[in-house]
Amino acid sequence: MAIRQSELPIDTVSPFANCKLGREKYANILTSILQSNPEGFVLSINNKWGTGKTTFVKMWRQLLKNQGYYTVYFNAWENDFEDSPLTALMAELKTVTKQPTEQRFKTLIKSAAILSKNVAPALAKAIAEKYIKTEVLKSSIEGATTGFLEIFETQIDEYSKKKKSIKDFQGSLFDFIDSTTDEKPLVFIVDELDRCRPNYAVSILEQIKHFFSVEKIVFVLSIDKVQLGNAVRGVYGSDNIDADEYLRRFIDLEYSIPEPDNGVFFKYLYEKLRFDEFFQSAERIRFLELRGEKERFLSICELLFTKSIISLRQQERIFTISRLVLRSFPNNHYVIPEIFIFLSYLKIAHFSFYESLKQKKLTMEKLQVEFKSIVDNLITESSIKDLVWLEVYLINFYNNYYFEPNNRKNRLLQYDQLSGKNLLKLNSVIDIHETGLFLSIFENLSKGRGTEDISLSYFINKLELLENLA
């Protein structure tokens, strides 16, 4: 199994055929907006990092191409090694050049060269000044000056040149796009802008606004607005800047892709990563006590991934590491799916708690408090039984990890000779009504075939890749 998951294949005929999140309808909505506003605008697709924006915009791009739109896809993060955003943006525009428009693109290149000489350095210098503090370095960038009058006259000349350069460039840009795309606008998608170096990200925004704001070109910015706002504040050196107001200067329309229906994505990951090849293998299901693993695994996933606040990217990481680690389990060994996937979940989504478990830093009381805080929003009448099972597994295996498992005096479940009943050293934080479920599960565990004595290290060593993979 590959550790780095390949990109979801995009069918050229039916681009959303492999989309398991039902997002084609949102692409159709955005397409209708393009059709209603062919004169051009800037659209932002604003969702948190890890929610599948890149896959969505690539599928939408193919859908647009199928409908006769010319499109450009620019991954800003992969190209922020280039100091000149104008160069990078022009290079992407070249990809839509046709033979009849080659001459117009050459004219555009000439205009861009003049623009780059007269205007772009000033923008770069303005951004650089936010980082450069000393007068010595500033003077090295600006060059030595001989007098105020000479500087002022030069600035007047430069202003005229800048204004003409921008106007000439925009005229050439419109001429090129109009002759290339016929009646439809060119759709220029800028992805991963929020992951770039802050000054590069801001420079791209500034150049889109000042240089590329012409009719018949639609810019689509695929962003995490919060992170991009942080970049803006970093460039301008103040936490007091209203980043939302700043970004409104560039963005005409903001759209957020709705979250997928609960439970859709983890089921897709289960199929994609072929978990059945492990849980349903002939070697495992011949053991009666291992046959229900798939159902138990999916049941706890239903709890963790339909109500927890966790991104699609985090879910993918959890499932990827879980599928990889399953290779270290022999075919006749217990997995205990509930605790296995829960620990994988903790490692990605609640790392500090996971580390405290691993390093044996928690008392049993603290463990239960932390556990309750994590699953509190998952507790419903229908989920209590599953969560109490999970609680029992976690505290029992941690107790065995903390102490020697064969040391009877440290067992949480003790038989009382006087009452003739089993007694527990602690109470459930989930079954607060004390229905007896907590005790009965502990008793059930003690009657199991070897699961009572399992230590948390049994799982942690595998998740930390301390055991060989098959």
Q: With pLDDT > 90 as the criterion, what percentage of the chain qualifies?
A: 53
- Return the closest-CA partner of residue 293 out of 322, 262, 264: 322
> What confidence category does residue 149 fall into, taking pLDDT thresholds of 50, 70 and 90?
low
Contacts of 441 (CB under 8 A, 6+ apart): 388, 389, 392
pLDDT at 329 > cutoff 50: yes
> Tokens representing 308?
């927890």
Predicted local distance difference test score (pLDDT) of residue 360: 95
Predicted local distance difference test score (pLDDT) of residue 405: 59
- How far apart are the C-alpha atoms of 48 and 223, rounded to whole Å? 8
Question: Are 392 and 441 spatial neighbours (Cβ–Cβ below 8 Å)?
Answer: yes
pLDDT at 276 > cutoff 60: yes
pLDDT at 147 > cutoff 90: no
- Return the closest-CA partner of residue 217 out of 28, 75, 71: 71
Q: What digits encode the pLDDT tens for the residues 282-304?
A: 999 999 889 999 999 999 999 99
Contacts of 183 (CB under 8 A, 6+ apart): 38
> What confidence category does residue 114 fall into, taking pLDDT thresholds of 50, 70 and 90?
confident
Range 24-105+178-255 classified under CATH 4.10.95.10? no
pLDDT at 135 > cutoff 60: no
pLDDT at 132 > cutoff 50: no
Predicted local distance difference test score (pLDDT) of residue 3: 53
Average pLDDT over residues 154-179: 82
Q: What digits encode the pLDDT tens for the residues 205-235?
A: 989 988 898 999 999 999 999 999 988 888 8
Predicted local distance difference test score (pLDDT) of residue 192: 92
Is residue 414 helix, strand or coil? strand
Q: What digits encode the pLDDT tens for the residues 336-394?
A: 999 999 999 999 999 999 999 999 999 999 999 999 999 999 999 999 999 999 999 99
What are the sequence ranges of the domains in the chain? Answer: 24-105+178-255, 264-463
> Tokens representing 16?
């959303």
- How far apart are the C-alpha atoms of 92 and 45, rounded to whole Å? 20
31 exposure class (CB count in 10 Å sphere: 0-12, 13-18, 19+): middle
Beta strands across the sheet bearing 71-75: 71-75, 186-191, 217-223, 42-46, 253-255
pLDDT at 269 > cutoff 70: yes
Predicted local distance difference test score (pLDDT) of residue 313: 84
pLDDT at 162 > cutoff 70: yes
Predicted local distance difference test score (pLDDT) of residue 339: 95
Predicted local distance difference test score (pLDDT) of residue 372: 96
